[in-house]
Every structure is written in structure tokens, then in C-alpha cells.
Structure 1
Amino acid sequence: MAAPKIAILIESDFYEHEIWYYHYRFLEAGYDAQFVTRLWGNDAITFKGHEYHAPFECRGDLEKLDDATLDQYAALIVPSGMVSDRLRYTEDLGRIPPASDLLKRAFAKPNLLKGMICHSLWLAAPVVEIVKGRRLTCHPNLHGDALAYGASFVDEDVVVDGDLVTARTGGHAHLLAAKLIQMIEGKG
């Protein structure tokens, strides 16, 4: 039986502790953690972390995750830090940024778990309908964004609303990962 696949978005200014935690925690659980980004036609891009400027090479292209490919994943994680802000860039203001479009398509799949943490809510800015009416938590700095998006903010470290699992800060990555693993394994 194939290992469950987890897609994790990545970009520059990522929070090193969180990204490396996901890398090793999902591997330890027997999962296939695949980091994806907008490769801009490159085979790979090496990003630097926020605090230590640690390099992280990514070879997965989020623009190649069509709906059929997305169906092969158990979860999609939008991490903390500046990842979402950088991934919501679009050169064509008349189109939804590719990463936000991926998130919108993921929300249309109730069997795909969505993990969002800290500042990841920024990626939903172009597609606020995906979180409207949903219970979630986020970094306190994004409390106003959550309300403006029509979400129901909950002041807790981790919040589960069906297929959406949210966590307050990058420092809560262990709680987000644990909840996702429980849900994938049918234990929570």
C-alpha cells in the first residue's frame, strides 16, 4: 500500500522550525511529504528560511497539481511565515494567483484535508469564499483578516472544522501535524 501523500507549500522566508518539523514528522509517520511551490519554469528553486536563512530545495511544481493529481493526496498544508504572502503574487491581476487557485480547488475536495497555520490565511485573500463561515484560528495579527473574510475566528491553538484544520502559530506545527495524522489514520 502506498504511503499517504502530504503536499506542503514552500517559498522564501519560511519558518525553519516548522518546515523541518513537517519534513521529519511525516517521514517518521510513514508519509510521503512533498514540498511544492511555483517553480516559474525551473527544475528546482532553493529558498532561504526566515530566521537562520537555512536553504531548502524544492522540486515540486504546484502548477502541475491538477485535480486528478490532487486526488492522490491526503492533505495539503499551507505553512506559516511569509510563504502565503509570496505565493499569492500574480503577474496578471485579472487572474487568481496559481497557489490561491490550488487552495480553492483543494477546498472543493472534502476528502482532502486542508491544514492552515499562522499567516497562511493570506493565501485565501483572493478566494475568501473558501473560508467564509468556517471555524478557524490563525495568528493574532490576522484576527481582523479572518473576520473580514467572513470566517468564524476561534481563540484556540488548533481548530477543526470538518476537512479544515487550523493552528495559531508556526510554534503550533506539532499540534497541526498531530491532528492531521490522527484524522488521516481515522483516529480523530
Structure 2
Amino acid sequence: MRLTGQKIAVLMESDFYEPEILYYQRRFAEEGAEVHFLTRLWGNDRLVFRGHEHRMPFEVTESFEDLDEYGLREFAAVIVPSGIVADRLRYTEDVQALPPAVSFLRRAFADPAIVKGIICHGMWLAAPIPSVIEGRRAVVHNNLLGDLRNMGGVYVDQDVVVDEDLVTARTGNHCHVFARTIIDQLTARTRRRLGDVV
């Protein structure tokens, strides 16, 4: 199991794409990783979200708002999934302030040791912080081409694109190659670290 001892965060909200989320839940665990689904709990102990296609319920009990810098650094990767998750997460009560989920993503981008995975419409969550995407190679859903270009990103017409600590994928239906690429990236990083130690 290549990811034993590593933690992966997947952001969650309603209107998630069920096959994608279920794939992450099982595939990363299959490699030995702990998979944590994080959301904004709004003062609740738990929230149940519904999927987009089949209205499947999915309970989340962990909040990204509770994570300090040390807690964030425990994660090897942070994933922004497809569907309408990113759009829901970028809500803010104060239009002068960044949405909490966007602030969390910006903190993750500030640490190159964390792999950032953004798939399909997940790029919406980065729209308020375009500097984290500016000049970087990425792919998005065709509907978000204008968004990516307005953020200064460099569109690459591939199903999955790796730009250092950023992994992007075209659609939720590419979640399998997206997850495999993230697993490969994390494995390579572990090998480099172990090579530095030896």
C-alpha cells in the first residue's frame, strides 16, 4: 500500500457527483491513505449532503474551518471535486471577505508540500484567488475554459495535467485517472523524501 500513513482531504457539499466521491473513498483507502471529507459545518456536529445524480446521502463530520496550520500540514493532498461542490463552497456572508473554503484552499496552495487536486468544475473554488492559478498549466471542464483563462491559467488539452503541486482533470468521469495521478505523485514525493534521508 503506497500511501500508508498519509492523509487526503476531499472537500464536500451538496450536488456532488456520486461515482467520483465513492471512488475516492475506496481507491485512496485501498492504497493505505486516510480519506477525510471536509466541509463547512455551520456550527453543526454533522451535515448530510445529497448527490447530484441520484440524491445519495453522504454524511460529513469534519470541518476545514477547525484546521490550524499544523492540522493542514498533516494532509498530503487536498482535493476539490467536480459537480456543484465548489460553487456551493464559495458562498460567503460577507462579500468583502473570502469564503472560508477559498481561504482554506489558499492556505493549501501556500504549502507546496501539499498536492492540490482540482477536477472539472472544482476550479470555481479558486476563482476568487486567481494568483494561485496564474501562469500554471491546467485542464478544466470545457464550460470553464473562460474562467481558467481569466484566472491567467494556461489551458492544456489533456484529461489530466500535472504542474508541480497542482493536479487538474477534465471531468468527474476522469476521476480514476485523476486519482491514479495523485497516488503516483504522492508516491514519488515519498520516494524522494526517503532518498534524501538515506
Q: Shorter-normalised TM-score: what interval?
A: over 0.9
Match of 1:89 in 2: 91
Q: Of residues 154, 158, 168 in structure 1, which corresponds to 2:160?
A: 158
Q: Of residues 17, 20, 26 in structure 2, which corresponds to 1:18?
A: 20
Contact 2:4 2:32 in 1 (8 A): no
Is 2:77 aligned against 1:68?
Answer: no
Match of 1:99 in 2: 101
Paired residue secondary structure (1:160): strand
**Aligned equivalents of 1:100, 1:67: Cα separation in 2:** 15
**Aligned equivalents of 1:129, 1:27: Cα separation in 2:** 32
Match of 2:151 in 1: 149
Q: How does the TM-score come out when normalised to structure 2?
A: 0.93
Question: What is the aligned-residue identity percentage?
Answer: 53
Structure of larger gyration radius: 2
**Aligned equivalents of 1:43, 1:139: Cα separation in 2:** 33
Paired residue secondary structure (1:132): coil
The aligned runs of 1:3-152 (5 Å cut-off) are 3-152=5-154
Aligned length: 188
Match of 1:183 in 2: 185
Paired residue secondary structure (2:13): coil
**Aligned equivalents of 2:159, 2:143: Cα separation in 1:** 14
CA-CA distance at 1:150 after TM superposition: 0.5
**Aligned equivalents of 1:141, 1:86: Cα separation in 2:** 17
CA-CA distance at 1:2 after TM superposition: 6.3
Structure 1 segments (4+ residues) deviating >3 Å: none
Aligned amino acid, residue 79 of structure 1: P
Q: Of residues 168, 174, 184 in structure 2, which corresponds to 1:172?
A: 174
Q: How does the TM-score come out when normalised to structure 1?
A: 0.97
Deviations, residues 97-128 of structure 1 (Å, cap 9, x unaligned) = 00000111111000100000000010011111
Paired residue secondary structure (1:126): coil
CA-CA distance at 1:8 after TM superposition: 0.2
**Aligned equivalents of 2:127, 2:166: Cα separation in 1:** 16
**Aligned equivalents of 1:128, 1:77: Cα separation in 2:** 17
Structure 1 gaps of 5+ residues are none
Contact 2:4 2:31 in 1 (8 A): no
CA-CA distance at 1:80 after TM superposition: 0.2
**Aligned equivalents of 1:61, 1:110: Cα separation in 2:** 22
Aligned amino acid, residue 107 of structure 1: F
Paired residue secondary structure (2:10): strand
**Aligned equivalents of 2:158, 2:4: Cα separation in 1:** 34
**Aligned equivalents of 1:65, 1:173: Cα separation in 2:** 26
Deviations, residues 49-89 of structure 1 (Å, cap 9, x unaligned) = 00000000000101012211111110000000000000000
